[in-house]
């Protein structure tokens, strides 16, 4: 049992002394101007080698990591712009759908107007018949009922026209344009 404890203690002491010795050597090397100059020259040589490598790759037409990174950023920018254009196209599709629905409603109104004209003609014909028949009370009641119905239908058509006309205004093309050359944030 004592041998195990002595081994652990000895290991700890040797480890601590070794760490201290390495720390002192590193401090002395860092403080030595010759070593510091050699390290600085090594880093300078590394930078020159990287520049020479980039130049050689450029001459051979091989893109550098910086070129690939610039291309990646540009591709992301184009992708974001394309998404913006897609969003605008979706908005235009929605607007066109709303316009098409309004046109279909207006086409339905034209049919209602035709029916109103036909009913009006029937009312005029009933008036003529009532006048020619001596003004019978049954015909007068029907004429009055038809006129009331005709006025109700005309009011409904006016209400539908007002509802269709109250849709959102479509902006002009100049208001929808945006500059493509700007980079997104």
Contact 104, 131 (CB under 8 A): no
- Average pLDDT of the segment spanning 108-117: 71
Q: What is the pLDDT of residues 52-63, one digit of tens each?
A: 888 888 888 888
Mean pLDDT across the chain: 78
Nearest one of 110, 113, 121 to 153, comparing CA atoms:
113
Q: What is the pLDDT of residues 18-73, one digit of tens each?
A: 888 888 988 888 888 888 888 889 999 999 998 888 888 888 888 878 888 999 99
Dihedral sign computed on CA atoms, order 155, 159, 164, 165: positive
Residue 161 CB contacts under 8 Å (≥ 6 apart), including other chains: 109
Q: Would you say residue 161 has pLDDT above 60?
A: yes
User: Which pLDDT score, from 0 to 100, does residue 182 have?
Assistant: 56
Tokens found for residue 10: 């000895």
Band of the pLDDT at 175, cuts 50, 70, 90? low
* DSSP 3-state of 64: coil
Band of the pLDDT at 110, cuts 50, 70, 90? low
Tokens found for residue 11: 């290991």
User: Which pLDDT score, from 0 to 100, does residue 168 have?
Assistant: 54
For the beta carbon of residue 152, count every other beta carbon within 10 angstroms.
Answer: 10
- Give percent of the chain with pLDDT exceeding 70: 74
Higher pLDDT: 2 or 80? It is 80
């Amino acid at each position: 049992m004592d041998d195990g404890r002595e081994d652990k203690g000895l290991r700890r002491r040797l480890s601590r002394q070794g760490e201290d010795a390495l720390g002192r050597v590193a401090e002395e090397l860092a403080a030595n101007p010759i070593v510091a100059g050699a390290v600085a020259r090594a880093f300078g040589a590394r930078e020159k080698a990287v520049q020479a490598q980039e130049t050689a790759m450029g001459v051979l037409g091989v893109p550098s990591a910086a070129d690939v990174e610039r291309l990646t950023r540009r591709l992301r920018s184009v992708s974001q712009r394309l998404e913006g254009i897609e969003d605008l196209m979706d908005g235009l599709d929605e607007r066109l759908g709303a316009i098409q629905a309004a046109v279909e409603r207006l086409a339905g109104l034209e049919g209602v107007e035709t029916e109103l004209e036909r009913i009006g003609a029937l009312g005029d014909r009933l008036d003529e018949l009532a006048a020619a028949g001596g003004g019978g009370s049954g015909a007068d009641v029907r004429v009055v009922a038809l006129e009331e119905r005709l006025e109700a239908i005309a009011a409904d058509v006016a209400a539908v026209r007002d509802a269709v006309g109250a849709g959102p205004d479509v902006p002009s093309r100049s208001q929808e344009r945006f500059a493509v050359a700007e980079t997104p944030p």
